[in-house]
Chains A and B, each alone.
Chain A
Amino acid sequence: MIDAAYAAEGAEHGGGAAGGLPNPMHQFEIKRLIPFELFGFDASFTNSALFMLIAATLITLFTVYAMHSRALVPSRLQSVAELSYQFIANMVRDNVGTDGMKYFPFVFTLFMFVLTLNMLGMVPYSFTVTSHIIVTFALAAFIFLGVTLIGFWKHGAKFLKFFVPEGVPIVMLPLLVVIEVISYLTRPLSLSVRLFANMMAGHTMLKVFGAFVVALGFLGGWAPLAFMVAFTGLEILVAFLQAYVFAILTCIYLNDALHMHHH
């Protein structure tokens, strides 16, 4: 329903695509809210930056306000905060081990940030920050760099043994080491593309079907509308799931750097 209105809005502003349907890519457009230039670079305050700011504010307000009473018997809000803490704490403990708990604040922040951005994107007329590959790639690249540095800091040059699989015939080694290195280097790419593609594909599909509802009118629009309702539910699941996958893969990468496959 809401997304139909969303699509109708797109029809007014972003029309001109093939078949008279609104352009489903219009929703990903970055707008300069406060134009600003820094050393010749365009550092404008965009709607993307605005939504990141909203997400960061929401998370801070939520965690600070939910935990302000620190009651032994938690209120509903406090138990939501405790649940999310426990959820990530268990994830880190299961996947990295107890010595990985010092990275818990990072994983928790990452999860909450991605989750909030994904969920904010599900609000009609809002902007999905994670549907831009540069945002997810920046996150993934920093995770990759940090994890690699942790690996070298923890194991020194022995971390290079990570790329040499054990129990493999010597003849096969040159090939396998190359494969291992390539698969290690593609990690930031796959991590970022997974999140970005899921978000972008989902929102494009919502928009396309929203346009169908409008195009088919009062008589025929009910079928895509029913699909839209179901698909919006699936999208909310995907928004959570992708934040979860992003966090758990970060944990797995951290575990690789800290323990190098074997415990």
Chain B
Amino acid sequence: MDPSAAKLIGAGLASIALVGAGIGIGTIFGNYLQGALRNPSAAPSQFANLLLGFALAEATGLFGLVVALIILFVF
């Protein structure tokens, strides 16, 4: 195979990391809503944790992006 084609395929494969980030963000917001609807008075106190969890989960997807960019532009 042409090495440049393999590079593009590799970069595309690296973006599969977004699956995990999507599942993670969905889980975080879904569970937050579930908890917030069951006990609305406790919801505001957990908002900071929600944002923290969102940022941490989103970052894992972006690590995949970084891998893709490294494959594309460094090698």
Chain A interfacial positions (CB closer than 8 Å to B): 25, 190, 193-194, 196-198, 201, 238, 241-242, 244-245, 248
* Residue contact A197 to B59, C-beta cutoff 8 Å: yes
Contact sample, A vs B, 15 pairs, CB 8 Å cutoff? A190-B59, A193-B59, A193-B63, A193-B66, A194-B55, A194-B62, A197-B59, A197-B62, A198-B62, A238-B58, A241-B54, A244-B52, A245-B52, A245-B55, A248-B52
* Residue contact A201 to B55, C-beta cutoff 8 Å: no
Classify chain B's interface size.
10 to 19
- Could you list 10 further interchain pairs (A-B, Cβ under 8 angstroms) beyond the known A197-B59, A201-B65, A241-B55? A25-B73, A190-B59, A193-B62, A193-B66, A194-B59, A201-B62, A238-B58, A244-B55, A245-B52, A245-B55
CB distance from B69 to the nearest CB of A (A): 8
For B65, the chain A residues whose CB sits under 8 A away are 197, 201
Classify the interface of chain A: helix, strand, loop or mixed: helix
Classify the interface of chain B: helix, strand, loop or mixed: helix
- Bound-state CA distance A51–B49 (Å) is 31
* Residue contact A245 to B62, C-beta cutoff 8 Å: no
* Residue contact A244 to B51, C-beta cutoff 8 Å: yes
For A245, the chain B residues whose CB sits under 8 A away are 51-52, 55-56
* Residue contact A198 to B59, C-beta cutoff 8 Å: yes
For B48, the chain A residues whose CB sits under 8 A away are 248
CB distance from A133 to the nearest CB of B (A): 8
For B59, the chain A residues whose CB sits under 8 A away are 190, 193-194, 197-198
For B58, the chain A residues whose CB sits under 8 A away are 198, 238
